[in-house]
Chains A and B, each alone.
Chain A
Amino acid sequence: MPTKGRILRVNGPLVVAEGMKASQMFEVVEVGDLGLIGEITRIEGDRAYIQVYEDTSGIKPGEPVLGTGAPLSAELGPGLLGQIVDGLERPLGRIAEISESPFIQRGVKVPSLDRQKKWHFVPKVKKGDKVYPGDILGTVQETQLIEHRIIVPPNVQGTLKEVASEGEYTVEENIGIVNMNGDEVPVSMIQKWPARIPRPFKEKLEPSEPLLTGVRVLDTIFPLAKGGTAAIPGPFGAGKTVTLQSLAKWSSAKIVIYVGCGERGNELTDELRAFPTLKDPWTGRPLLERTILVANTSNMPVAARETSIYMGVTIGEYFRDQGYDVLVVADSTTRWAEALRDLGGRMEEMPAEEGFPSYLPSRLAEYYERAGKVRTLGNLDRFGSVTLASAVSPPGGDFTEPVTSNTLRFVKVFWPLDVSLAHARHFPAVNWLQGFSAYTDLVSKWWDQNVNPQWKEIRESMVKTLIREDELKQIVRLVGPESLSERDKLVLEVARLIKEAFLKQNAFDDIDAFSSPQKQYRIMKLIDFYNKFATNLVEKGMPVKKISEGITVVTDIIKSKAIIKNDELNKYDELENTLKSQFEQLEKKVI
């Protein structure tokens, strides 16, 4: 029997109701005559404090509150890919159809998954089989790219009394009946999971494979691993969103979930517009076939912003449990934290640092802990991963503020964006001196086996050059470049080459936007050649000025990133040969 109470107080998104003794924490309720969706966040006596996910204008004391008996849950099953849903997992396209307006109306109730659409189900088990949570019952080819694996829900196990034969089914139709200790439990293609609770798995494993992004500074200098966690903090205009969009577009994850959490409406439109036509560089299929957008823009109700990242990660875990590598991108966790602060303030909670609630760090920890590479539940040995990459928007670009500093405690990769690089139009504006990655050693094995064993060595040499350049620049600022030794001048020259030819990357250039690992290595190799040959000449007494005048191919090397495509890397041989012969010419002049 669901509870029925009545409203005592309305204060923005906070509603207090009485007669709610039978309700439970985090239960979803319908508020007022409009039936707005809300969630119980505190219970005192028979009073419940409800955070309402829609605008409460017009709601009055005395109106009813109805319990639903269930916590806030994600609906999981075929039909999510290619969708754009709000923070409560309601498809925004359907809301627009029902509202018949470009504006979002309140109280619209739409199921997350299409109830009418039929999916072609292919069974993988037969009658009489014993099934356990996570076992694959059958498959649905949801998009050309993704085979949706229908798995036994985490709370069901037993003997299959019935299995549907191959054919067309809606998500609600039964595709099997499990005899669970004498009870007959029907199973359909749809399952629900409470969004705030992590889905179970067998064991967590150490990340080892890189999550390639095609962005050179990320893949090579600060690599992310499948199952890892990364944060991108930066002031506005530093390129957070563009970097996250690059991740969503080009990363080697099988499924990408993009959570637009309190950000701009037009940015999500940009993705909705681009993803059906852009091709996944790893498979050649339209990106939308592997993407789910969770959108709660900055002007949408603040409480639903708080839930959007949980919805995103829950959907991510569901695909992980099918054995896929999933990337969940959240833009931005600062807006999520601000939603926490707003709601905490209205509940009159004691604020901690900068008004944020004292549980901010533990909420952040809980969220990032949902990342990982796991051995999934189920009979077949399956591995899946959830990688979390989140933007942080520190006020005024100050990284010491609570959200950034707490996030740093829980992530293993840090891609700080630097506004001075952005103003100089050096993109991606990742500061190579402040960033870090704890996965460099773990993934270098992969580069070793799949690209070239030299990757690690050249990478280290590049990083060293950049650090040395920073030191030298401080000297230059004091005494001018002419006072440097020739060897130090060469360091500046090589660092310039690293920045121009490798680190800078144009996310809006068709060719430059995505660099395959092989292409990255080819550019690195050219830089390494240049460094070694030039060092040799400098040691023989040649001034750097002469080298830079003699090696004219450098301009072509810098331009090559936007000219040479990923599938015509042999063109780099030509550049390499020119570079060598120009150095040979120079060397003759030494003697």
Chain B
Amino acid sequence: METTMNIREFKNISMIKGPLVIVQGVNDAAYNELVQVEMSDGERRRGIVVDSYLGSSVVQVFEGTSGVSPTGTTVRFLGRGLEVKISDEMLGRIFNPLGDPLDNGPPIISGEKTDINGGPINPSMREYPEEFIQTGISAIDGMNPLLRGQKLPIFSGSGLPSNTLAAQIAKQATVIGEESNFAVVFGAIGVRYDDAMFFRKFFEETGAINRVAMFVSLANEPPMMKILTPRTTLSLAEYLAFEKDMHVLAILLDMTNYCESLREISASKEEIPGRGGYPGYMYTDLATIYERAGKVKGKKGSITQMPILTMPNDDMTHPIPDLTGYITEGQIVLDRSLYNKGIYPPINVLMSLSRLGKDGIGEGKTRDDHKDLQNQLFAAYARAVDTRGLAAIIGEDSLSDVDKKYLLFGEAFERKFVTQGVNENRSIERTLDIGWDIVSILPESELTNIKQSLIKKYLPAYRGKQ
């Protein structure tokens, strides 16, 4: 917020409802101005102006209104917007979304005061992502590649190993042939304490903790704290990427908690609900978070965003995954049936998608056969899944010979290509070689997506014969 004004104090509270406090007598409260609410016992809470009238103002209190009384409470309008001090000293530390330390360390003194809402990146200033990030996970690298500056969420279900996968990606992700200036910012939104500690411990064990900053709001904190968490997290990400030339991986866990909080606050403001009771502006609101990723011209750093969300009842059409998918550049979908088969990572490659992947793979980037092989694996696995459905009805014996081969292929794809160890870091060459091994199960005439020259070069039957 550019305007700076003096601090004004008021004591006349006319209504308290949910997280909202209505203050009378104020004529010049700026929209989104930061407010301090001081209770009679001296406790101070923070809030912002969400609706400003000539003569009154609606203030939303971050920490909730329980214990706030119309008498004895002082409301101070602070004359500035919600700003958090952001600094590279935050790496290696843990904070709440208002920038207060949670790790018994000293507060950040020399930070840059930053409006955590950020601003929209000018589309003409964006630089298109083109650098392939090797995550070491075949189902991602081979099938749905992640690029530097992309926003690619993980759609999970309750109980599925999304945390393990995110941690594995954070540990393994590299850009081939580059020693990079790398950082992870981690926004834990309304998570359980043990989830936050899982990551903390993981980063400590892998020695990466000094490159990681965490912002945490726990499950039992007021909804507004959860709304702020991703915003503060991404403010640090932007600072590190665009001021300090770092390549930042931003992980947001769990966006479902964020959306629940958004709904809770919307309901308390008596807004007209949209689908599933979520506010109609949820798409726009989520966009102001997810779009804070990418690369911009003239800056060396980048933000790659990996939000994680839990699909309620594993339903991908639920408003939260649905609206997310409309904003992000693809999605990695975890599948309970694969998980139940004992497959890790249980990535459903057919439902997953990387919109930008195509621009970071192929000759000179990964390998010349990557695109064709990827297309072929997709087409063949889709047919295998289809055939599996047919076999379940009419029995495997009634299938044609080719269809039986597809069944074998499908098994091999899941067991050899998708399946890998929690600590297994596969190079892209290894991933593609496994891909060739399994397509060779099919008759060569079925490989309609691959150019003849590549078949001759890579198919095991020809390898070494040239």
Q: List residues of chain A with CB under 8 Å of any chain B CB.
A: 7-12, 33-34, 55-62, 84, 92-93, 95-96, 99, 101-105, 235-237, 241, 260, 262, 264-266, 268-270, 272-273, 295, 297-302, 335, 338-339, 341-342, 345, 351, 354-355, 393, 395-398, 423-425, 476-482, 500, 506, 508, 552, 555, 558-559
Contact = CB atoms under 8 A, between A and B. Distances in A.
B31 A265 contact: no
A50 to B, nearest CB: 13
B287 A298 contact: yes
Given A95-B124, A338-B284, 13 more contacts: A8-B54, A10-B52, A11-B51, A11-B52, A60-B28, A102-B125, A104-B122, A262-B287, A268-B126, A295-B124, A299-B287, A299-B292, A425-B379
Main secondary structure of the interface of A (DSSP, over half): mixed
B30 A60 contact: yes
A351 B274 CA distance: 11
A300 B54 contact: no
A89 to B, nearest CB: 14
B367 interface: no
B273 interface: yes
Given A265-B294, A297-B291, A299-B287, A102 B122 contact: yes
B109 interface: no
B117 A57 contact: yes
Interface string B141-161: 000000001100000000000
Interface in B99-121: 115, 117-121
B281 interface: yes
Q: A9, A93, A476, A558: which has the most chain B beta carbons within 10 Å?
A: A9
A7 B329 CA distance: 40
21 contacts: A7-B54, A10-B31, A10-B51, A57-B115, A58-B3, A58-B81, A95-B124, A96-B122, A102-B121, A102-B242, A235-B317, A266-B149, A295-B124, A338-B281, A341-B280, A342-B284, A355-B272, A395-B319, A481-B398, A508-B371, A552-B445
Interface string B429-458: 000000000000000010010000000000
B329 A266 contact: yes
B322 A236 contact: yes
Nearest to A500: B448
B308 interface: no
Interface in B355-387: 355-356, 358-359, 371, 375, 378-379, 382-383, 386
B390 interface: yes
Given A92-B124, A300-B120, A424-B386, A345 B272 contact: yes
A481 B272 contact: no
B127 interface: yes
Contact of A423 (B115, B123, B382): B382
Contacts of B284: 262, 298-299, 302, 338-339, 342
A61 B77 CA distance: 14
**B32, B273, B292, B298: residue with the most chain A Cβ atoms closer than 10 Å:** B32
Given A11-B51, A61-B53, A103-B119, A84 B280 contact: no
B52 A9 contact: yes
B350 A555 contact: no
A424 B123 contact: no
Interface residues of B, number: 85
Given A8-B54, A298-B327, A273 B351 contact: no
Contacts of A266: 126, 128-129, 149-150, 294, 329, 356
Nearest to A34: B2
Contacts of B329: 264, 266
Contacts of B318: 396
A103 B31 contact: no
Contacts of B383: 424
B325 interface: yes
B123 A481 contact: no
Contact of A59 (B30, B51, B386, B445): B30
A138 B341 CA distance: 72
A397 to B, nearest CB: 6
Given A57-B32, A102-B296, A508-B358, A480 B394 contact: yes
B283 interface: yes
A58 B275 contact: no
Interface of B: 1-3, 27-33, 50-55, 81, 115, 117-129, 149-150, 242, 271-275, 280-281, 283-284, 287-288, 291-292, 294, 296-299, 317-319, 322-323, 325-327, 329-331, 350-351, 353, 355-356, 358-359, 371, 375, 378-379, 382-383, 386, 390, 393-395, 398, 400, 445, 448
A559 B10 CA distance: 75
A241 B325 CA distance: 13
A360 to B, nearest CB: 12
A335 B280 CA distance: 11
A10 B280 CA distance: 19
A84 B30 contact: no
B1 A58 contact: yes
Nearest 4 pairs between A and B by C-beta? A396-B317, A298-B287, A480-B394, A424-B382
Given A104-B119, A265-B121, A555-B448, A354 B288 contact: no
B280 A342 contact: yes
Given A8-B54, A269-B128, A92 B32 contact: no
B31 A57 contact: yes
Contact of B291 (A299, A479, A552): A299
A393 B299 contact: no
Nearest to B288: A299
Nearest to B291: A299
Given A102-B122, A299-B120, A424 B27 contact: no
A265 B326 CA distance: 12
A338 B280 contact: yes
A359 to B, nearest CB: 16
Contacts of A84: 123-124
A481 B398 CA distance: 8
Nearest to A105: B119
B326 A236 contact: yes
Contacts of B393: 477-478, 480
Contacts of A272: 123-124
B1 to A, nearest CB: 4
A338 B286 CA distance: 14
Contacts of B53: 8-9, 61
A345 B280 contact: yes
B334 to A, nearest CB: 15
A102 B299 contact: yes
